[in-house]
Amino acid sequence: MESTPKSVGTIVGERRRMPRYHLLTRVDILLAGSADVYWGSVCNLSRSGVAVSMRQHLKAHQRVTVRFRLQSPDGREIIEELAAKEIWQCGDNTGLEFDPALTAGSSALQKARYLAAHLVEKESGR
């Protein structure tokens, strides 16, 4: 998996704060204040958020919980959930910003240890 080049999927002149990495996994998108659950595929992932491909469209700034379905080294399914909000949509792709981001000292790191470990691995170039 490689870091996504800055020019891919960005607006001209945009500077990303966090590098993006590919992670092929399914996610569930749980809408805040609703029983609705959507599903999608991860396009890319960073410490500040995730881009997903899904057929449903969210309202501007819609608050959601992103449920990641990961696999542990011994093959068990690991489910980790992070709070996020919609920050952009383009066709079937949606950008979700984590609240809080997966940064040092963040409570999100405790909730998403496997996801954070994946990012650490990618950031180290492995």
- Per-residue pLDDT tens over the stretch 67-122: 998 888 888 888 999 999 999 999 999 999 999 999 989 999 989 998 998 888 88
Q: Domain extents for the chain?
A: 26-123
Note the pLDDT tens digit of each residue in 37-60. 999 999 989 999 999 999 999 999
pLDDT of residue 20: 54
Instruction: Quickly tell me which residue has 């949509």 as its tokens.
Output: 89
Paired strand residues for 63: 85
Tell me the torsion sign for CA atoms 24, 80, 5, 63: positive
DSSP at 1 = -
Could you say which of 2.40.10.220, 3.55.40.20, 3.20.20.140, 3.50.50.60 is the CATH number of the domain covering 26-123? 2.40.10.220
Instruction: Give me the amino acid identity at 119.
Output: L
Residue 46 to residue 23: CA distance in whole angstroms: 10
Which SS3 state, helix, strand or coil, does residue 49 take? strand
pLDDT at 13 over 70: no
**Between 18 and 83, residue with greater pLDDT:** 83
pLDDT at position 2 over 70: no
The residue that leads in pLDDT, 29 or 75, is 29
